[in-house]
Amino acid sequence: MSEIVSFVMAMLLLLSLTGCGTNNMDNSPPAASTMASGAQGEEEGGSTVLPGVPGRSGMEDEESPAAETGKKQKTYEPSIFIIEASGTWQHEIETGYHVNYECELYLDKIEPHDMHSDTGFYSGVFWLRMAFDTGEYISDIIKGVPGLEIMLDAGAEGICDNLAMYLRDGYTRDPTGNYSIPSGQGGQLEPPHDALADKGSFVVAATQGNLNAYALDTVKGIELDYEHSGAVDIDVSYVIHVGPDPTMEATQRRVKIKITTSDGATGMIDGVWRRLPGYPEDLQKYNDSGKSREILDRHQK
């Protein structure tokens, strides 16, 4: 049984190291997200086309008639800017031993003044869940050992309810900074000059965690049943790209986000940027809808 106890204690240690706060995001001006189930970019005609989200043609840097004539407008009409994204990915610790991640993000930006720009602070909420998949790994460990049975169920969940991202275009972010994310074709994708981008980090505060371990040795007549609740906060880093809007007319733009957890798990998630009308009656309707609290309502216990 010493092997069983050691395995359970190792899982406890791993859970404590990878559990899901104060916001720790770098809000200073920025310096210039491997996903098993996420959609990947496709190379077409030398430029990267991003799939999965309706709207404009993607993240490619394209010229517009307005840009060519130098008459590109500088601001939008009164607007509510929204970013929604979600996704799943898997992180392999050892062969047959995985952690499955699921996350959801909602941000908005409401302009209080007359300068209705898409750049600036977007604030909202980020939810993260992680579940351990050890079935294959345990089966290999106990293979050939008669009368031995081991079952393990472990996971954690958390929320950051004060997330803020400061999105800048190429005219205002540091041109020497690195905002690259995986292209899905083995290379790296850089944000076009007219696109919005940001990078930083934040803390996901744990809301729940569990470790349930059961072991039975029928040969030696030994049984172990262990339960543990609780998890610790987890640090998350991100790089976000929002597709360009050269004509300042788009109501939807594509979003890609690279998410990296403190245990080294990296995933790419897709999303959409939306622009809604932001006149006083629209603001009142939006605030009354409680849209920005939907993730909290769904996931907070």
What digits encode the pLDDT tens for the residues 17-56? 333 333 333 433 333 333 333 333 333 333 333 333 333 3
Between helices 135-142 and 2-17, what is the axis angle to 10°? 160
CB contact set of 3 (below 8 Å; sequence gap of 6+): 141
Tokens of 60: 């490619």
At 140 the pLDDT is 87
Report the distance separating Cα 52 and Cα 58, nearest Å: 10
At 300 the pLDDT is 74
At 264 the pLDDT is 87
Q: Using CA of residue 59, residue 65, residue 68, residue 73, what is the dihedral sign? A: negative
CB contact set of 269 (below 8 Å; sequence gap of 6+): 33, 35, 38, 85, 86, 87, 89, 103, 105, 256, 257, 259
Total domains in the chain come to 1
Between CA 60 and CA 70, with CA 65 as vertex, the angle to 5 degrees is 105
At 27 the pLDDT is 38
Under a CB-based contact definition with an 8 Å cutoff, are residues 195 and 243 in contact?
A: yes
Give bridge partners of residue 102 from the DSSP assignment: 88, 129
Task: Count the Cβ atoms, other than its own, within 10 Å of residue 160.
Answer: 25
**Mean pLDDT, each 10-residue run in order, the chain (301 residues):** 43 39 38 34 37 37 39 75 96 90 95 80 96 89 86 93 95 89 90 95 95 89 90 95 94 97 93 95 91 81 58
Segments forming the whole domain that contains residue 226: 2-299
CB contact set of 91 (below 8 Å; sequence gap of 6+): 98, 99, 101, 261, 263, 264, 265, 266, 267
Under a CB-based contact definition with an 8 Å cutoff, are residues 125 and 161 in contact?
A: yes
At 174 the pLDDT is 84
Report the distance separating Cα 289 and Cα 293, nearest Å: 9
Q: What pTM was computed for the model?
A: 0.74
At 112 the pLDDT is 64
Name the region of 108 (left: φ>0; alpha: ψ -120 to 50; beta: rest): beta
Under a CB-based contact definition with an 8 Å cutoff, are residues 212 and 227 in contact?
A: yes
On the CB side of 48, CA atoms within 13 Å amount to 22
At 186 the pLDDT is 86
- 3-state SS class at 247: coil
